[in-house]
Amino acid sequence: MKIIPEQYHELELIGNAIADSEARCITFISLTGGEGSTSACASVAKWLIGRDKSVLIIDLNPLNIFRFGKEYPAASCKWGFDDISCQLKVKQYQDLNLLTIRDLEGIDSAKDKHVINDAILRLKQEYDYILLDMSPALKLNRNNIPLHSLSLCSELTFLTIGLGINNEESLCRAVQELKQAGHRKIKALIGQHEFAPLGQRLMTYLEKQTPKWPRLCTALKKRIKKQKWLFQHY
């Protein structure tokens, strides 16, 4: 997981969207995984903490345990949404307040939207913001927290989209799934960390056109290869 540098304008835009929505419970979710949803969640948490806000991250993604690098959060006592343990068992990890799905005591209580909403209301008395890191919208797993479980508590949903990973069809499906589950305020976060550099995409296109215009494509490829900046990730 990579943290977005605090000075990046994108974080300010996300912060403004949160302020404009007056949201305190925010969901971060990707389409299929690998789009940077967890990175966005952690980056926003650190950005808010840097502005003297108290933040709790609830990791609800069994497919990708919340962690920085290779260091996993230490296992702690079990907690649940249906009692006070979700307030008492919060752990400190890399200067963040965290509850992980790995320590969640059973998943049945987490499937009841009223139980989760009551828990979030209690947690709001202790934290300015609660950030929910969800499992991918389009990956079905019996250990996942259902999308509808967060429909009462989540006041804003950030859907992360990866250029070079997702297509228009999967985006439409994910938005439909979220709306059907009761998520009303949905905003897109678009990442390009997996998007091939322009030079690489130009070379791929020219390779396909070479049989039709061999001399032209060969000359263009030579020129493009000399422009090293075209092959750098930004």
Predicted confidence at residue 77, as pLDDT, reads 84
pLDDT score recorded for residue 233? 63
Q: Looking at the structure, do residues 150 and 225 belong to the same domain, yes or no? A: no
Asked whether the predicted pLDDT for residue 43 surpasses 60, the reply is yes
pLDDT band at 63 (very low <50, low <70, confident <90, very high): confident
Same domain, 123 and 219: no
pTM here is 0.80
172 in the same domain as 212: no
Q: Do 107 and 156 share a domain, yes or no? A: yes
Instruction: Answer whether residue 141 shows pLDDT above 90.
Output: no
For residues 132 and 170, what is the distance between their CA atoms, to the nearest angstrom? 22
Question: Can you give the residue range of the structural domain that contains 160?
Answer: 9-191
69 or 17, greater pLDDT = 17
Q: What CATH number corresponds to the domain at position 59? A: 3.40.50.300
Taking a C-beta distance cutoff of 8 angstroms, is the pair 198, 229 a contact? no
Task: Count structural domains, the chain.
Answer: 2
Strands of 129-134's sheet in order across: 91-93, 96-100, 55-60, 129-134, 25-30, 156-162, 186-191
Residues 33 and 102 in one domain: yes
What does the pLDDT look like over 182-216, one tens digit per residue?
Answer: 998 999 988 766 666 788 888 999 999 999 999 99
Domain contains 77 = yes
pLDDT band at residue 144 under the 50/70/90 scheme:
confident
Structural domain contains residue 92 = yes
Domain for residue 154, yes or no? yes
| 16 and 58 inside one domain | yes
Judgement on whether residues 94 and 206 belong to the same structural domain of the protein = no
Same domain, 173 and 220: no
CA gap 215, 227 in Å, rounded:
19
